[in-house]
Amino acid sequence: MVNEAIILIQDLHKTLENKKVLDGVNLSISEGETRVIVGQSGEGKSVLLKHIIGLMIPDKGSIWVDGIKVDPFDERAIARVRERTGIVFQHSALFDSLTVRENVAFALINKHKLSNKEIDRIVAEKLALVNLSGVEEMMPSELSGGMKKRVAIARALATEPKIVLFDEPTTGLDPLTAENINDLIVELKEKLSVTQVVVTHDIHSSCKIADNISMLKGGKIIATASVDEMMKNPDPFIHEFMTISMTHIKDRDSDGEIVSQERA
Ligand SMILES: Nc1ncnc2c1ncn2[C@@H]1O[C@H](COP(=O)(O)OP(=O)(O)OP(=O)(O)O)[C@@H](O)[C@H]1O
Ligand SMILES: [Mg+2]
């Protein structure tokens, strides 16, 4: 279901170490949408995500999440925003000394008075959602990169958020594992009807999962459009950014075999 804005960002500015990272970002994301935010490394994609959940303080501008004004100085507002928002950090960021069960249950243990049995049920349910059942007692060091990413996604889903933010979900994964994570993101949208915001510089991934793509450049969102419209954008930078990565896409046939390695 796609309707009014569940995330609204107006004129957001942020300077870090004398560098103007965000220079008037405006963004409106509809409920139920999967929005991909693309941009080159260092353009401020992670900084933008951190502002959405109140982890960074804007110099200027405002952010609303599900009708709540994100004010880092208002603890209750931030708690309400975080209740509604799960985040999958760049590099998964699992707690190395905790089991998978403890990682997935982390937000539940801190926020809700649930019995161990109830926590076990929720952890098993979220691991099943990310197609990774039965690994509760494993440690992060025993997991592959793709499994870690799935556990990080299960952890983000534990409190049943309306919004899930993903920071570079496929970076650092081999192409087939990355493809499986893309499939999972599409599957979660269908199963849970959540709003997803995915930050990436992986254009192939963007094309697979996005309802709409926004491009961050020079501290501003310079374009927002569907995948097809973005591909046809005449702006030379956007055209190059969107198409240059596409020449390296690997197509697979129905048996999963790579059938071509070049596509314009
Ligand atoms: N906590 C911080 N303190 C100072 N500078 C920061 C901080 N976080 C980010 N920056 C700077 O802000 C800029 C944007 O960083 P950010 O991590 O958001 O980029 P990005 O678009 O996510 O890049 P990547 O694709 O490599 O993840 C960079 O110049 C970075 O060095
Ligand atoms: Mg980043």
Q: What is the pLDDT along the chain (264 residues), one digit of tens a residue?
A: 444 799 999 999 999 999 999 999 999 999 999 999 999 999 999 999 999 999 999 999 999 999 999 998 999 999 999 999 999 998 878 999 999 999 999 988 766 588 889 999 999 999 999 999 999 999 999 999 999 999 999 999 999 999 999 999 998 888 999 999 999 999 999 999 999 999 998 888 899 999 999 999 999 999 999 999 999 999 999 998 888 765 444 443 444 343 443 333
Note the ligand closest to the C-alpha atom of 47: 1
Name the token pair of 72: 């880092």
Q: Whats the size of the chain, residue-wise?
A: 264
CA–CA gap between residue 149 and residue 215 (Å, rounded): 24
Which of 15, 18, 41, 46 to probe ligand 1 with, by most ligand atoms within 8 A of CB? 46
Long-range pairs of 187-192 with CB within 8 A, sequence gap ≥ 24: 188/129, 188/153, 188/157, 188/164, 189/32, 189/34, 191/129, 192/129, 192/157
* DSSP 3-state of 76: helix
Q: What is the CATH number of the domain that holds 74?
A: 3.40.50.300
Q: Which residue has the tokens 């999958």?
A: 88
Closest residue CA from atom 1 of ligand 1: 16
- pLDDT in the model for residue 2: 43
CA distance 204 to 33: 18
User: Which residue's CA lies nearest to atom 9 of ligand 1?
Assistant: 47
Does the Cβ of 19 fall within 6 Å of ligand 1? yes
Residue 9 belongs to domain spanning: 5-260
Amino acid at 199: V
Which residues are bridge partners to 144 per DSSP? Answer: none
Alpha carbon distances (Å) from 259 to 42, 90, 147, 163: 34, 30, 26, 36
Substitution site in 22, 37, 38, 47 for ligand 1 pocket (most atoms within 8 Å of beta carbon):
47
Nearest in space to 150 (alpha carbons), one of 165, 174, 133, 137: 133
Q: Which ligand is nearest to the CA of 216?
A: 1
Using the atom order of ligand 1, give the atom closest to the CA of residue 201.
Answer: 25
Query: Ligand 1: which atom is nearest the Cα of residue 56?
Result: 1
- Give the Å distance between the CA of 17 and the centre of ligand 1: 10
- Quick one: pLDDT at residue 251? 42
The tally of domains found in the chain comes to: 1
For residues 124 and 157, the answer to whether their CB atoms sit within 8 Å is no
Residue tagged 């499986």 (tokens)? 180
SS3 call for 104: helix
Residue 209, C-beta contacts closer than 8 angstroms, at least 6 positions apart? 34, 36, 182, 185, 186, 189, 196, 198
CA 14–ligand 1 middle distance (angstroms):
11
Residue 18 beta carbon below 6 angstroms from any ligand 1 atom: no
pLDDT of res. 51: 97
Locate 210 and state its tokens.
């996005």
Indicate which residue's Cα is closest to atom 17 of ligand 1.
46
Taking the centre of ligand 2 as the mean of its atom positions, its distance from the CA of residue 42, in whole angstroms, is: 7
pLDDT score for 246: 57
Would you state the structure tokens that stand for residue 96, as one six-digit string? Answer: 């190395």
Atom 31, ligand 1: residue with shortest CA distance? 42
Sequence letter at residue 194: V
Spatial separation of the C-alpha atoms in residues 185 and 29, rounded to whole Å: 17
Determine the pLDDT at residue 16. Answer: 97
Q: Residue holding tokens 């049920």?
A: 121
Spatial separation of the C-alpha atoms in residues 144 and 40, rounded to whole Å: 27
Contact 34, 210 (CB under 8 A): yes
CA-nearest residue for atom 6, ligand 1, is: 16
Residue 46 CA to ligand 1 centre (angstroms): 6
pLDDT score of 110: 62
Determine the distance separating the centroid of ligand 2 and the alpha carbon of 19, expressed in angstroms: 16
CA of 56 relative to ligand 1 center, distance in Å = 12
